[in-house]
Copies of this chain bind each other. A is one copy, B any other.
């Protein structure tokens, strides 16, 4: 290790990472380009392979590159955001008969696919119970768990929770809930959606989520806890959306009251 001057007090792995980062930002390594192999980097910088590997890990952690086993390390493609507008709940958009996801996909020229992972009856977790205003801790809910794909790429996982006494024996218990999806059925039950409340957070995925969403390391998820309020401002539906953050943007446009 030369470390000839005060030039770099930094660890070698960081210097290698910095050099690569600069090359990426300058466009010398453009999106999709392959980085030199770990062994090549190690030799170039006179370091052990593990040190070059650590440099690549730093870049992956920043979301700049992704490693493909057996192929190489590649500069990540720029984000193509799949936007979910706040008007996805809008009544006028439901006149098409499409569910919000299918409508958004169609707008963007993508094919939509929805896998039903399960429809079960269960005791809700405290955060769900609170938002559905369920106070009796014996009361159960219906949990509909779905997996959404756009152009066959996984985009989001959604868990929807409804009161058991309302859903019991209706199409709300079936994979295909009929025209306009579950909101159509809920409207027939007397719940007109008049306001929505979305609570948004971001975090790293659990291993389970990483698997379901096909997430490479270093990609966070956006979590939206959504509550629908009816004409009496009573909650009648709560959903938890988990989106892969590198393909999702959320857009909210609202009046200042």
Contact = CB atoms under 8 A, between A and B. Distances in A.
A196 B255 CA distance: 6
Contacts of A200: 200, 222, 249-252
A158 B160 CA distance: 34
A224 to B, nearest CB: 9
A254 to B, nearest CB: 4
A256 B194 contact: yes
Interface in A184-207: 193-207
Contacts of A90: 256-257
Given A81-B201, A193-B256, A254-B86, A220 B245 contact: yes
Contacts of A217: 61
Interface in A227-257: 245-246, 248-257
Q: Quick one: which of A206, A207, A220, A248 has the most chain B CB within 10 A? A: A220
B196 A254 contact: yes
A199 B256 contact: no
Tell me the number of copies of this protein: 2
A153 interface: no
B195 A254 contact: yes
A245 B203 contact: yes
B222 A204 contact: no
B207 A252 contact: no
10 contacts: A61-B61, A61-B218, A62-B207, A194-B255, A198-B252, A198-B253, A201-B245, A201-B249, A202-B202, A202-B222
In the A-B complex, list the 8 residue pairs whose CB atoms are closest, starting with the nearest: A202-B202, A220-B220, A202-B245, A254-B254, A200-B250, A63-B204, A197-B253, A198-B252
